[in-house]
Amino acid sequence: MPTFTEAATVQAWVREARTIAALTGAGMSAESGVPTFRDAQTGLWARFNPEELATEAAFRANPQRVWDWYASRREMMKDVAPNAGHQAIAAFQRRHPGRLTLITQNVDGLHQKAGSTGALALHGNIFEDIWLDPCAGARGRAGICDVSLAEPGRPPHCADCGNPLRPGVVWFGEMLPAGALAAAEQAADHCDLMLVIGTSGAVYPAAGLAHTARQGGARVVVINPEPSELDGVAHALLRGKAAELLPALLND
Ligand code: OAD
């Protein structure tokens, strides 16, 4: 059974760990002002139906609606700044090269803005555009149309074949990027300590990485102000906000 733990205990675990994996979710960015998905009042999925916005079928059925929703989220996120939690992880990585593998479900790019390198972005990047289908419009080079050649629109599309652009995020029912997932599984399996930060643990395969870490012999710590679905996997629970706890935990 996990126990509610003093931050000082986890600080000591951080110092002892040769390798650390950090798995982050939307709560990591909450104090930067980015809404989470499943918080009861403020989460995006409390106000919007993911079936209508975060699946390939939804995009094919109503591309303009889905494009506009992601465009409004991009607009909201583009000037948002990393918080003290993102900064603490990035600073730890700079002080201890190669010791902390960062695995994130977030698509907001805030870890990267804070200076974290090598973040494994399991759910993609909201600022990237990709073709919905492989596009081989006549204006493309080497048979594949360059995204930058898309005609403006909602969504932008290939002038030759009409193929639309879509946001480069992983939707429900889609595969995660294979390389990032394999690297994340490897890091989870081999780490001495896994920090599970600001995620409800409701979405797999990302949440499964905490189980992998536990089975691989790592200590697992959940950092979250609320109960999460991964509490039962953890050795220790720190009930608090990421931006408040991480600077002290990672001050080694
Ligand atoms: P959720 O919204 O499911 O969970 C956010 C978690 O953050 C909750 O457990 C909150 O209690 C916690 N939280 C809130 N404020 C916090 C704070 N200041 N510090 C620490 N924790 C805090 O978000 P995710 O677990 O990231 O998928 O959701 C997983 C995936 O589901 C997302 O990546 C997204 C979504 O559908 C895609 O975009 C593909």
pLDDT per residue of the chain (252 residues) written in tens, 0 to 9: 666 678 999 999 999 999 999 999 999 999 999 999 998 888 999 889 988 999 999 999 999 999 999 999 999 999 999 999 999 999 999 999 999 999 999 999 999 999 998 999 999 999 999 999 988 776 655 567 889 889 999 999 998 889 999 999 999 999 999 999 999 999 999 999 999 999 999 999 999 999 999 999 999 999 999 999 999 999 999 999 999 999 999 998
Domain assignment present for 241: yes
- pTM over the 0.85 mark: yes
Is 24's C-beta closer than 6 angstroms to any atom of ligand 1? no
How buried is residue 97: exposed, middle or buried, by Cβ count under 10 Å (0-12/13-18/19+)? exposed
pLDDT for residue 55: 96
Q: Is residue 128 part of a domain?
A: no
Burial class (CB in 10 A: 0-12, 13-18, 19+), 142: exposed
Q: Is residue 161 part of a domain?
A: no
What is the per-residue DSSP string for the chain? --EE--HHHHHHHHHH-SSEEEEE-GGGGGGGT---SS-TTT-HHHHS-HHHHSSHHHHHH-HHHHHHHHHHHHHHHTT----HHHHHHHHHHHHSTTTEEEEE---S-HHHHHT--S-EETTEEEEEEEESS----TTSBTTB--GGGPBPSSS-B-TTT-PBEEEEEPPTTPPPPHHHHHHHHHHHHH-SEEEEES--S-STTTTHHHHHHHHTT-EEEEE-SS--TTGGG-SEEE-S-HHHHHHHHT--
Res 143: pLDDT: 60
- Indicate whether residue 101 lines ligand 1 (CB < 6 A): no
Q: Is residue 185 part of a domain?
A: yes
Domain for residue 108, yes or no?
yes
194 falls within a domain:
yes
Q: How far is CA 14 from CA 34, 47, 96, 123, 249, in A?
A: 27, 38, 12, 26, 7
What is the secondary structure of 193-238 as a DSSP string?
Answer: EEEEES--S-STTTTHHHHHHHHTT-EEEEE-SS--TTGGG-SEEE
Task: Report the domain count for the chain.
Answer: 1
Whether residue 87 lies inside any domain: the answer is yes
Whether 67 maps to a domain, the answer reads: no
User: Domain span at residue 236?
Assistant: 1-34+80-123+175-252
- Give the pLDDT score at 139: 65
Structure confidence at residue 160 (pLDDT): 86
Is 96 an active-site residue? Answer: no
Residue nearest to atom 14 of ligand 1 (CA): 27
CATH code of the domain containing 218: 3.40.50.1220
Assess contact for 241 and 30: CB atoms under 8 A: yes
Compute the distance from residue 57 Cα to the ligand 1 centre, in Å.
23
Residue 38 near ligand 1, beta carbon < 6 Å: yes
Which pLDDT does position 161 carry in this prediction? 87
d(CA 223, CA 120): 19
End-to-end CA distance of the chain: 28
Q: How far is the CA of 37 from the centre of ligand 1 (A)?
A: 6
Pairwise CA distance, residues 159 & 137, whole Å? 8
User: What local confidence, expressed as pLDDT, does residue 252 receive?
Assistant: 87
